């Protein structure tokens, strides 16, 4: 069984649509998804001793994710308020709370026991990417960040570099992946929403169409695509097989509210914002 650690961000996504908060955050989501897809996973991050933090911890326990290096810090668990137009989300106010943390040597030593470590660019951990990459294969989600100097710094460390490229045409997405590969990434994944996804690797380019779906909620679809692709590549699946399975996984994720489910009544110390259409 492959072992994957997620190292970084988490938050509760508070939905105005139903008054519930759902566990989320790129690294948190990937730890849950990869476990669902058959990997042994761990989440290294920080939550507070509040209702949101307890929800995060219950979810990780229910999903079978290891939490040996999960901090419970003094402060506020990160949150984000989200409105919806149909299944599409609108991000409103947020607070990073205690989710940004400074790793200690024991965290880095712990990561050495995994086949891959996933970090998202929103985690604020770029200063520690080189030590992580020295201990394990680095999976990094650039999300929509495109500045060339950042890519030049991070891509050489990556085993898998992932990009959200729904706003790019096919040529633009291929160009982004090719640039990451040229800078040293072994694999480069570009997800394009309804236009599918592409993966560039040592054997060339593979592409997959998006699976038809009537979405309930699109939050987490990209994270589940990355997770299933990473699990497949670590297992030695052919790229086309991994991409096909990832497309199925992303479509399935669109079938429930919240990134991973596990909703609870909103309980964060913040004023609930008005819906932008009200």
pLDDT digits (tens, 9 = 90+) for 183-204: 999 999 999 999 999 999 999 9
Q: Is the confidence at residue 222, as pLDDT, over 90? A: yes
Question: Would you state the torsion angle of the CA atoms of residues 243, 245, 248, 253, taken in this order, to the nearest 10 degrees?
Answer: -100
Ordered by where they begin, the domains of the chain are 3-265 (3.40.1190.20)
Q: What is the mean pLDDT of the chain?
A: 95
Q: Is the confidence at residue 278, as pLDDT, over 80? A: no
CA dist 79 and 87 (Å) reads 20
CA dist 21 and 262 (Å) reads 9
Residue 89, exposed/middle/buried by CB under 10 A (0-12, 13-18, 19+)?
middle
The per-residue pLDDT for 87 is 65
pLDDT digits (tens, 9 = 90+) for 22-77: 999 999 999 999 999 999 999 999 999 999 999 999 999 999 999 999 999 999 99
pLDDT digits (tens, 9 = 90+) for 106-158: 999 999 999 999 999 999 999 999 999 999 999 999 999 999 999 999 999 99
The per-residue pLDDT for 134 is 98
With a pLDDT cut of 70, the percent of the chain lying above it is 99
Report the candidate in 194, 236, 258, 268 with the shortest Cα–Cα distance to residue 33. Answer: 258
Sign of CA dihedral 52, 267, 143, 64: positive
pLDDT band at 238 (very low <50, low <70, confident <90, very high): very high
Q: Are 81 and 44 in contact (CB under 8 A)?
A: no
The per-residue pLDDT for 187 is 98
pLDDT digits (tens, 9 = 90+) for 246-271: 999 999 999 999 999 999 999 998 77
Q: What are phi and psi of 11, to 5 degrees?
A: -165, 165
């Amino acid at each position: 069984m492959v072992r994957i650690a997620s190292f970084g961000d988490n938050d509760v996504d508070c939905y105005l649509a139903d008054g519930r908060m759902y566990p989320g955050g790129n690294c948190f989501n990937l730890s849950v998804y990869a476990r669902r897809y058959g990997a042994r996973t761990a989440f290294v991050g920080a939550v507070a001793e509040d209702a949101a933090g307890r929800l995060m911890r219950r979810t990780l326990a229910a999903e079978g994710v290891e939490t040996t290096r999960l901090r419970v810090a003094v402060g506020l668990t990160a949150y984000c308020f989200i409105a919806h137009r149909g299944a599409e989300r609108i991000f409103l106010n947020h607070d990073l709370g205690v989710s940004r943390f400074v790793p200690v040597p024991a965290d880095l030593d712990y990561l050495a026991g995994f086949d891959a470590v996933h970090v998202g660019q929103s985690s604020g951990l770029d200063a520690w990417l080189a030590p992580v990459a020295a201990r394990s294969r680095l999976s990094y989600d650039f999300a929509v960040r495109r500045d060339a100097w950042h890519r030049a710094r991070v891509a050489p460390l990556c085993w898998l570099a992932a990009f959200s490229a729904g706003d790019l045409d096919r040529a633009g997405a291929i160009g982004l992946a090719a640039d990451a590969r040229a800078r040293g990434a072994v694999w480069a994944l570009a997800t394009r929403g309804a236009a599918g996804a592409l993966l560039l690797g040592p054997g060339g380019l593979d592409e997959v169409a998006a699976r038809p779906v009537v979405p309930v909620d699109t939050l987490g679809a990209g994270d589940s695509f990355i997770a299933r692709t990473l699990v497949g590549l670590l297992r030695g699946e052919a790229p086309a097989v991994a991409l096909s399975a990832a497309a199925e996984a992303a479509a399935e994720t669109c079938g429930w509210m919240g990134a991973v489910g596990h909703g609870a009544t909103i309980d964060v110390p913040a004023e609930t914002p008005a819906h932008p259409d009200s």
